[in-house]
A = this chain, B = another copy of it.
Amino acid sequence: MSRKRLTHLDCSIAHSLDQIGDWWTLLIVREAFLGISTFSAFQSRLGIAKNILTNRLDYLVDVNVLERLQPRSDTARFEYHLTDKGRDLMPLLAALMQWGDRWLFGPGKEPLEVVDVQSHQRIAQLQVTNTQGHAVPLSHLRFRPGPGASEKTRQQFEELRERRRTKAAP
């Protein structure tokens, strides 16, 4: 797998990207959400080479995004199912989908939609909200060091703040 190591960057975005590995991973997860569970079904639907698929499925089992089950003991056929960690990638898939719907396809041309099985309605646009549940405009969002930030990250943020101060000065 031609993965770049991004874990020198002190940030969950970099670590998540590193663990997700590559785009195939997310497409396999999408297929698993669709109910696909066997090697042959993943393979025929994604049109992915068998050795790459083997590699990715093994990887996803290793990092606990999928679990490998053998539903019948009299056959060697495995099934792959999402774990809680894997299912928790749904907001990420929804974010990718909504961005593509908006900027690449446009309204009324969405190839897929995500629906709530109870209401049969499409889900709403993902919104960044504050802890009171109110939407926060994107222009109001800022990053800052979290409780687990390294000393280096804290220093970098100080430098950024300094840079903005200098820039804002006349």
**Taking beta carbons and an 8 Å cutoff, which residues of A are in contact with B?**
2, 4, 6, 8-19, 23-24, 26-27, 30, 33-36, 45-47, 85, 87-105, 108-119, 121-124, 126-131, 133, 136, 138-150, 153, 156, 160, 163-164
Contact = CB atoms under 8 A, between A and B. Distances in A.
Contact of A12 (B105, B123, B124): B105
A127 to B, nearest CB: 7
Copies in the complex: 2
Contacts of A93: 13
A162 to B, nearest CB: 11
A23 B11 contact: no
Given A34-B160, A85-B103, A108-B147, 6 more contacts: A8-B47, A15-B100, A16-B104, A92-B95, A112-B146, A117-B142
Given A96-B12, A124-B129, A143-B113, A35 B164 contact: yes
